Amino acid sequence: MSGHSKWANIKRKKGANDKIKGNVFGKMSRLITMSVTENGGLTNPDDNVRLRLIIEKAKSFNMPKENIERAIAKAVGPEKSQLKEVVYEGFAPYGVSLIILATTDNQNRTLSEVRNILERHNSKLGSSGSVGYLFKKCALIIFDKVSVSQEKILEVGDLLEAFDIDEDETRFSVYFPFENLGHIKDKIKEIVYISAEIDYKPQSPILIDDEKKLHIINDIIEALEVLDDVQTVFTNIC
């Protein structure tokens, strides 16, 4: 079981700040809509695993039920949304690689906005595949240490065929094959988790101990995630 890092602590603080950003509901709405359109118009969370997981996340941000229903409705009917998921790859200072996950109905606009943010922060956009090989697309489920024991986490790891488990002061993070994301309900039963979602885990993580450098990287990520189209940014920092 891996340990924690300064980067994990900085990300945790950023995660807390995310909850008060004005565009969180908008981002969640886009993900909900896209999860319906990309799964053949399935609007029932019981039949659409990704929709169920995104609704769970939206509720963790206290997103109102009517907002969720409105986002689902935008994915069906003659005027349905044309949102698509796109992945951008980039290079930040100090040897840091970036995977930028976005949801957009206008790829030219999103590409331009992402490139401008990176260039303003001494970073640059890479071509497809330029850093993608450094990451493993997988699933990530997070548990609160107060609610779940280490023994139970090891059991969960076996059930989900986990290939890595990390921990910090307050949470356990279990990484497992992307294909098993849809089987969480069946496998872990009543065990309560904080969130479950797609992740890009670095295969050759780099260590940055300097807090000033870590905050510079975090500033780049925050600038990207302020964009309406950008959902999440992953790095190869351990």
**Residue 17, domain CATH:** 1.10.10.200
Whether residue 47 has pLDDT greater than 70: yes
Contact 201, 165 (CB under 8 A): no
Helices (H), 121-160: 150-159
Query: Which two structure tokens, joined as six digits, stand for 85?
Result: 């998921």
Q: Which of 224, 237, 235, 238 is nearest to 110 (CA)?
A: 224
Query: Which two structure tokens, joined as six digits, stand for 105?
Result: 């109905």
> Rounded CA gap, 215 and 220, in Å?
9
Residue 80: phi, psi to the nearest 5?
-65, 150
Indicate whether 105 belongs to any domain.
no
Q: Residue 40's pLDDT is what?
A: 84
For the chain, the average pLDDT equals 89
Residue range of the domain that includes 57: 6-73
> Rounded CA gap, 228 and 27, in Å?
6
Q: Residue 97's pLDDT is what?
A: 97
Indicate whether 169 belongs to any domain.
no
Indicate whether 197 belongs to any domain.
no
Q: Which of 201, 154, 148 is nearest to 170 (CA)?
A: 148
Indicate whether 88 belongs to any domain.
no
Indicate whether 10 belongs to any domain.
yes
Indicate whether 39 belongs to any domain.
yes
Indicate whether 101 belongs to any domain.
no
Q: Once rounded to an integer, what is the mean pLDDT over residues 178-195?
A: 88
Query: Which two structure tokens, joined as six digits, stand for 57?
Result: 């996340």
- The structure's pTM equals 0.86
The total number of structural domains in the chain stands at: 1
Confidence band for 4, pLDDT divided at 50, 70 and 90: very low
112: helix, coil or strand? helix
Indicate whether 19 belongs to any domain.
yes
Q: Residue 20's pLDDT is what?
A: 46
